[in-house]
Amino acid sequence: MTLKEILNIRNVRGYLIFRSSYFARFYYPVFTLLYLDYGLTLSQFAMLNVVWAATIVIAEVPSGAFADTLGRKKLVVMSSIIMFIEIAMIAFVPTSNMHLVFVVFLVNRVLSGLAMALASGADEALAYDTLKEQGKEDVWPQVLQIQLRLASSVGIFVTLLGAAMYDVDFMGKVFQFLGFTAPETTQDIMRIPVYATLLVALVAIYAAFSMEEESKTKATTGGKAASSIESLKLTMNTAKWVLSTPYVLFILLYYSLFEHTSRMFLTMNSQYYRAIEIPIIYIGFIGAGISVFQIIFAGRSRRLAESMAPRKFIMLMGLATIVTYYLISLGWPIFGVIPALMLIFIIMTMNIFISYHLNKQTESHNRATVLSFKGLMFNMGYGLIGVLYAYYYKLVSQGYTEEEIEQGIDFLASLSAFTYYFAFLFIVISALFYFKDRKRYFKT
């Protein structure tokens, strides 16, 4: 299908706009730095993200089941509204009381996790089932490629502007041009990227409302209580199906490992870039370069994910990831950006592979629930690595002076843990499936 034909499908168009705007957050390029400038510590930052992951773990699968029983559009709309609220909280919280700041960020993480859980699987299921109803489900990898390129194009603008908004020198010139007093520190301008994200959240709300869904034909006589029971039954049945379908379980376990490990590192990439001596203003250019990189290589990622046998694909990606984390742990000044790019390409390719194969194996009636299990397994892993990293970093940082901590030397020293963590779990999962039943778990 042509791009125009794909965009003419309303739910696919809404899905593309929703995904691109939902994750278009101007503070992402400086995510870790933003938390630190609000007065939080790196350990608190890691633990808050554990709370975020735990919230998704609790809400992920029930939300997917409710999406399949009560309606997927309702959950996508609720997600976009909660997203707006959680961003507004940190946009306007006063920083004079650090206890209040921490509490607000704690609530923000809970709401952010809830919003993510509500949308997870529901938006994708709406778009995929629309294609399936038209007999065009084979176009889904192409939709994923378009979504990746669109998100990357938006990302170029967001990362460049977001990082520039956080650079004191750049914003000083902007303030002077507008006739205002120039800011002196990042604390004076740290809310600007958050305000900008608040405006983009309105686009996500619009996209959510623009999607369509037919009313559920299976009406329950007991109203909301009966729908809740039906959702619980669907959750349990889907869990049994996942556990009894080795190929799906294999996909989900590997997805969780690749995704939660990379997400933990990429969440802290602004701290990593600062530690390898890259000025804040250039973080935006790096983010834009990454988006261009994703646009250029999205097609190659799709072809690789579609054409390569699952066993060979997973092994190749696993070995490449172990090497990449090792190179990242070396902390090369400036050139440390190269392994970060390698990691992004691996994860981009892995996500296309997972979505393509998982949707092929899943029936329409429980698609959102299965996709929620995908999110559940990722966030369980993310919560685990968040706790372990927060504890490990605290131990590592005790051996460094305040000046060395300010330079990020302790942070770089902690990154070797990613290599060992990923390699250990990759070997364990691979060995588990190999020895249990290699013919069933690795299809060639």
Measured CA to CA in angstroms, residue 308 lies from 27, 303, 361, 429 at distances of: 36, 8, 17, 20
CA dihedral 328, 332, 336, 338 (to 10 degrees): -100
Which residues does 68 contact at the CB level (< 8 Å), separation at least 6? Answer: 125, 231, 234, 365, 366, 367, 368, 369
Residue 157: closest CA among 45, 285, 61? 285
Which residues does 86 contact at the CB level (< 8 Å), separation at least 6? Answer: 107, 108, 111, 112, 115
Predicted local distance difference test score (pLDDT) of residue 219: 45
Work out the number of other CB atoms within 10 angstroms of the CB of residue 224.
9
User: Whose structure tokens read 């990454």?
Assistant: 290
Each residue's pLDDT, cut to its tens digit, for the chain (444 residues) gives 777 888 888 888 999 999 899 988 998 888 888 888 898 887 788 888 888 878 877 776 666 566 666 678 888 899 999 999 999 999 999 988 889 999 999 999 999 988 887 877 678 888 888 888 888 877 887 888 888 788 878 888 888 898 889 888 889 999 999 888 888 888 889 999 999 999 999 999 999 999 887 765 444 445 555 555 665 666 677 677 777 777 777 788 888 899 999 988 988 888 888 888 888 778 777 777 777 776 777 677 677 766 777 788 889 999 999 999 999 999 899 898 899 888 988 888 888 787 777 777 676 666 666 766 777 777 788 888 888 888 898 888 888 888 888 778 888 999 999 999 999 999 998 888 777 665 554 454
| Angle between helix 42-69 and helix 72-92 axes, rounded to 10 deg | 160
Residue 78: closest CA among 87, 67, 89, 69? 67
CA distance 408 to 43: 14
User: Whose structure tokens read 């940190």?
Assistant: 90
Token output for 213: 């869904």
Work out the number of other CB atoms within 10 angstroms of the CB of residue 98.
11
CA distance 129 to 10: 12
- For each of the domains in the chain, give its residue range(s) and CATH number, in order of start: 3-215+222-441 (1.20.1250.20)
Q: Which burial class, exposed, middle or buried, applies to 431 when counting CB atoms under 10 A from its CB (0-12, 13-18, 19+)?
A: exposed
CA distance 52 to 109: 5
Residue 80: closest CA among 205, 213, 203, 197? 205
Provide the residue count of the chain: 444
Predicted local distance difference test score (pLDDT) of residue 93: 92
CA dihedral 5, 9, 15, 17 (to 10 degrees): 60
Which residues does 381 contact at the CB level (< 8 Å), separation at least 6? Answer: 256, 257, 259, 260, 261
- Contact assessment for residue 430 and residue 333, using Cβ atoms and an 8 Å cutoff: no
Work out the number of other CB atoms within 10 angstroms of the CB of residue 39.
15
SS3 of residue 188 by DSSP: helix
- Contact assessment for residue 322 and residue 186, using Cβ atoms and an 8 Å cutoff: no
CA distance 6 to 136: 10
SS3 of residue 307 by DSSP: helix
Which residues does 401 contact at the CB level (< 8 Å), separation at least 6? Answer: none
CA distance 257 to 253: 6
CA triple 155-125-131, angle to 5 deg: 95
CA distance 207 to 198: 15
Predicted local distance difference test score (pLDDT) of residue 438: 55
| Residue 167 dihedral angles phi and psi, to the nearest 5° | -95, 120
